[in-house]
Amino acid sequence: MKKSICELLSFVLLFVMAGCGNIAAEGGHESVSEQTEVQAEQSIDHNKVSAETESRELSGSVPEQEQETNMEQKTLVAYFSATGTTEPLAEYAAEILDADIYEIVPEVPYTEADLAYYTNGRADQEQNDPSARPAIAGNVENMEEYDTIILGYPIWHGQAPRIISTFLESYDFSGKTIIPFCTSHSSGIGSSADNLHGLCSDSVKWLEGRRFEAGTAKETMGNWLENVIVK
Ligand SMILES: Cc1cc2nc3c(=O)[nH]c(=O)nc-3n(C[C@H](O)[C@H](O)[C@H](O)COP(=O)(O)O)c2cc1C
């Protein structure tokens, strides 16, 4: 009987010890898995940081504000207007695009006699001479800042006045976009803009130009700009 009680007690003791062992094992296991989770979290955080660092390194670490400034497009409206017809259209363009404006002013102003066409006056003579380069008074000091130039001029004998050639040869327009427009009595823009391409670097992007009649409304200019720039 004593032996059976002893055997029973030993059995109970063994059972209890096995149970404790299990708990210890489970406790140990739990603690290992908790540790693994913490390590995993730390590792994710670390990866996140290194991914962020990597992406900053790839993007050249340029702060967002600076990137926005670099991406900002700056437009200049440059125009020549001998008798004031082209000028208001250039002003409309500058207002609509919130652009800077520059008037191409001849060093020697054109007199009425100079502009009387088919009289072999000054303007006629210049247009008959492809190498004529009437001097411009003043200049654009910060041309390198502009990405896009809207270029306005009157049609003189089917072409842009030679002073436009002077203007185009005075600056490096490489990589810039030029958008020409003109006014005239009745002629279209014709080949006047195409004939200016050769005066600039091949890397200039010329967009299609348009002719406007005298007294064109601001809205018409706005519609054209929207079309030509968005297109
Ligand atoms: C020398 C000269 C030549 C011109 N040749 C033409 C021409 O070939 N076709 C035309 O329709 N208008 C011609 N015109 C008229 C102008 O293109 C038109 O009046 C223009 O709108 C004037 O612009 P502005 O006032 O801005 O100078 C000519 C004007 C001048 C002074």
Residue with tokens 């327009």: 173
pLDDT of residue 229: 84
Q: Whose CA is nearest to atom 30 of ligand 1?
A: 156
> pLDDT value at position 61?
43
DSSP characters over the chain: -HHHHHHHHHHHHHHHHHHHHHHHHHHHHHHHHHHHHHHHHHHHHHHHHHHHHHHHHHTTT--HHHHHHHH---EEEEE--SSSSHHHHHHHHHHHHT-EEEE-EESSPPPHHHH-TTTT-HHHHHHH-TT----EES--TTGGG-SEEEEEEE-BTTB--HHHHHHHHTS--TT-EEEEEEE-SS---TTTTGGGGGGS-TT-EEPP-EEE-TT--HHHHHHHHHHHHH-
pLDDT tens over the chain, length 231 residues: 455 554 544 554 444 444 444 433 333 333 334 444 444 444 334 333 333 333 333 333 444 554 444 457 899 999 999 999 999 999 999 999 999 999 999 999 999 999 999 999 999 999 999 999 999 999 999 999 999 999 999 999 999 999 999 999 999 999 999 999 999 999 999 999 999 999 999 999 999 999 999 999 999 999 999 999 876
pLDDT value of position 71: 58
190 CA to middle of ligand 1, Å? 13
pTM of the complete model: 0.74
Residue 24 CA to ligand 1 center (angstroms) comes to: 100
**Residue among 143, 147, 129 nearest 171 (CA):** 143
Residue whose CA lies nearest to ligand 1 atom number 20: 184
- Report residues whose beta carbon is within 6 angstroms of any ligand 1 atom: 81-86, 115, 117, 123-124, 154-158, 183-187, 214
State residue 231's pLDDT score: 62
Residue 92 confidence (pLDDT)? 98
- Residue whose CA is closest, atom 7 of ligand 1? 157
Atom number of ligand 1 nearest to Cα 87:
26
Cα of 52 vs centre of ligand 1, distance in Å, is 60
pLDDT, position 7: 57
Among 86, 184, 186, 191, name the best residue to mutate to test ligand 1's pocket (greatest count of ligand atoms within 8 A of Cβ). 184
